[in-house]
Structure formats: C-alpha cells, structure tokens
Amino acid sequence: MGGKSIFISGGGSGIGRAIARLFADRGWFVGIGDINEAGIEETGALLPADRWFGCRLDVTDRDNWDTALESFSSAAGGRIDTVANNAGIAFGGPLIQNSRREIDALIDVNIRGVIYGAQAAFGHLRKTAPGSCLLNTASAAGIYGTANMSVYSATKFAVRGLTEALDVEWAGQGIKVHSLMPSFIDTPLLAKQANARSSGTMRDKVRATGLEFTPVEEVAQAAWEAVHGERLHTLVGKTARKLAFAARWTPGMLRNKMRGRKSRK
C-alpha cells in the first residue's frame, strides 16, 4: 500500500469519523480504532473499500495499543505517518455530583489512554519522520477551567500539557506533536446524561449556556491543517478562539465572567 496513512483512535464516531472521511477523500489510507466495533464498520462504510482498516481498540489497554498499531502498520505497507490520538469521553455536572466511576473513567480514557497512545505511536512515527505527526484531541475546556465540567476540563488540560511536553521531547526526532482544541461539537458524546445524577444531557447543558456547536467537518479540516502545519495548538470554533484571547489578554475579566460577576474598575 503506497501513500500516507493515519491511524485514528475513537474513529467510530464524531470527530474521529469526520477526520477519517476527510483524509480518505484526500488519498490517505485510514486506520479506525474504536472500542465500539459497530461504529468502526459504520465509519468504514463511508470510506472507499480499499482505503481503510479497522480494529477494536481499548485505549486504556497499553498492550492493545501495540497490537492495533502493528496491525495497521502491516495493512498500510509498513508505515504510519500520523496518529490521531482522538478517543475521549465526557461527563459533566458539579464535581460533588460526579461518581468515582465517572471520575475514574474520565482519567483512564482521556489521560491514560492518550499517554498510552503517544507512547505506542512513537516508534512508528519515528520511522516516517521527519514530518510525521502525533495529533492529540484536546478541547476548548483545556484553555480555561470550565465550571460543571471540572474533571473533563482537567483531563483536557493534561492533554494540552502532554502535547507541549512532547513537542519539545520529540523535536529532535523530527516528529511533530500538535493538538486540536475545538469548541463544543454535537457528537454522540453530548447525547449522554451529563452524569448519573443528572436528568439532562451534555447537549442540554451546552445549549443552556448559549454556546455554539462547531460543525464536525470544521474540526476535520483543522486536523488536516494541523498535520500539515507547524502550529502547536489549533483552535477550532468561536468559543475556543474567544476563550484563548480572553485568557491571554483579559484574564481577570474572563474569571469574573465565569464567576458571574462584573469586573471591578
């Protein structure tokens, strides 16, 4: 199999599916890793039959990462140019309402899973360097701490920190390490209850705040640009850009706004 290849964790839905479609349309061979095997097949059905390979992946299982990437590398002709470290889950609500199970799951998938993915990807990306890329999916929630999504926000700050650390650590190997920081995306993640003690969904919570949803296709295009560019963090959507601007230039006003207070003169 000639040409470039990308492996996408969480490729069975949402952002991962959109990235798979865009990269396949542009001639890349696509690997779809997901714990949801039905989702893998659904994504694969949207791609050219000879442009994809799917495998079940539990990102919290370090050995499973090695098996998945080795299998994909073989299917892709021995090369992996990009690993999209995209799989993630979301729970919301006040911290005191989050169960241990919810907290542990967020940490396991959103932090441990991303770290394992980076570690497993390194050897493959070193083979195709310079120019290979580890692309981590962070979030606008990793720009400024988000109330009622505190654990989720903390995990995305961790992804941001990992990206910045590996950007330095792997620079000498010729491997780019970048992140996507999208605003809220209307994916299946948001259709779930905010947490076990909540009657509303994550989608309801976002709508109640008046924040916009960023089209998933916009995130996929941003992924393409991140893989081919040099920007460390790629902001996607109005909310992400506004948060980043305010956090840098008017942090006091942003804090007061988040706390529901008017800034003092």
User: In terms of Cα–Cα distance, which of 194, 190, 165, 192 is closest to 179?
Assistant: 165
In a domain? residue 209: yes
Query: Secondary structure of the chain: what % helix, strand, coil (to 5)?
Result: 50, 15, 35
In a domain? residue 97: yes
Q: How far is CA 121 from CA 8, 34, 57, 95, 236, in A?
A: 11, 16, 14, 33, 24
Asked if 161 and 144 touch (Cβ cutoff 8 Å), the reply is no
**pLDDT for 2-45, tens place per residue?**
689 999 999 999 999 999 999 999 999 999 999 999 999 999 99
The active-site residue out of 152, 157, 170, 184 is 152
What pLDDT is attached to residue 183?
87
In a domain? residue 265: no
What pLDDT is attached to residue 16?
97
Asked if 204 and 213 touch (Cβ cutoff 8 Å), the reply is no
Query: Cα–Cα distance between 16 and 8 in angstroms, integer?
Result: 6
Say which CATH number the domain at 190 has.
3.40.50.720
In a domain? residue 264: no
List of residues 6+ apart from 249 with CB closer than 8 A? none
- The pLDDT confidence band at residue 262, using thresholds 50, 70 and 90, is very low
Look at the chain and report how many structural domains it folds into. 1
Query: Cα–Cα distance between 113 and 21 in angstroms, integer?
Result: 23
Q: What's the mean pLDDT in 164-181?
A: 98
What is the pTM for the complete model shown? 0.89
Annotated catalytic, 152?
Answer: yes
Q: 100: domain range?
A: 5-258
